[in-house]
Every structure is written in structure tokens, then in C-alpha cells.
């Protein structure tokens, strides 16, 4: 099991990582952030904005009656970036998600998803 700080540091070792945040989607607040997005990416704004995305998808799944399904991750493909949103599935992580922004030119999306899944499964909150 890894702590929040070590999980964020590990996420930043993923090829192409720009920034990472652990977000409470009840409040939209980032519980922890790491990265050097600078003018390229404000992680607190991204955390709040992606909270709306997660809530909307969960409402949609509820309306569709998809009760036996959980979101593994949500991918947003931009011209120069990938944004991955991964809700935590552990008992202590319910209501939280990991947000990872990647440079599209420097990342391998399949590997990033695999590594983020591994980080999520080991994260102890």
C-alpha cells in the first residue's frame, strides 16, 4: 500500500506525465497535486472541472440502470494532451478519483492506463 505522496510521485514517473491530482468528487477539491503544468495546466481548476464530468457520468449510468458496472477510467483526448480520470474502487477510496494529464507526444496511452490502474489499486487513503 502506498501513501498519497508516494502515489502522486509514482504517477509523475509515467512517461509524458504533466500533472496528477487526487480529487474528492463530492466537493471538487484536490486532496493532493503534483506536477509542473505551469501555464499549461492548473491542477486545481482541472480537479474541479473533472468533478463535474465524473458526477455526470455516474448520473447517466444510474439513469441507464448500469448498477453492475463501475467506471474504470474516463479518457479525454485533446490535440496535444490526454487526460485520464480514474475513480478509486477501494473501500477507503470511494468518492475520490485520480486525475492524470499526459503530453500526447511523449506518452503511451495503454501503458499509462495500466500504470495508473496499478497505482490506484495500491493507494491507501
CATH assignment of 4-122, among 1.10.357.10, 1.10.730.10, 3.30.450.30, 3.30.499.10: 3.30.450.30
- Residue 99 C-beta-side C-alpha neighbours within 13 Å: 31
Q: Model-level pTM?
A: 0.92
pLDDT value, residue 110: 96
**Is there a contact between 83 and 49 (Cβ–Cβ < 8 Å)?**
no
Which helix (H) or strand (E) element contains residue 68? none
Kindly report, residue by residue over 69-114, the tens digit of the pLDDT. Answer: 989 999 999 999 999 999 998 877 889 999 999 999 999 999 999 9
State the chain's mean pLDDT as an integer: 91
CA distance 122 to 125: 10
Amino acid at each position: 500500500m502506498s501513501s498519497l505522496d508516494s502515489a502522486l510521485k509514482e504517477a509523475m514517473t509515467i512517461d509524458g506525465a504533466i500533472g496528477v491530482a487526487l480529487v474528492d468528487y463530492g466537493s471538487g477539491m484536490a486532496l493532493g497535486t503534483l506536477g509542473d503544468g505551469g501555464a499549461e495546466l492548473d491542477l486545481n481548476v482541472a480537479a474541479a472541472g473533472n468533478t463535474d464530468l465524473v458526477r455526470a457520468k455516474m448520473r447517466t449510468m444510474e439513469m441507464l440502470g448500469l448498477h453492475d458496472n463501475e467506471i474504470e477510467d474516463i479518457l479525454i483526448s485533446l490535440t496535444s494532451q490526454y487526460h485520464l480520470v480514474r475513480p478509486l474502487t477501494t473501500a477507503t477510496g470511494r468518492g475520490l478519483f485520480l486525475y492524470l494529464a499526459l503530453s500526447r507526444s511523449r506518452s503511451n496511452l495503454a501503458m499509462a492506463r495500466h500504470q495508473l490502474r496499478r497505482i490506484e489499486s495500491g493507494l491507501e487513503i
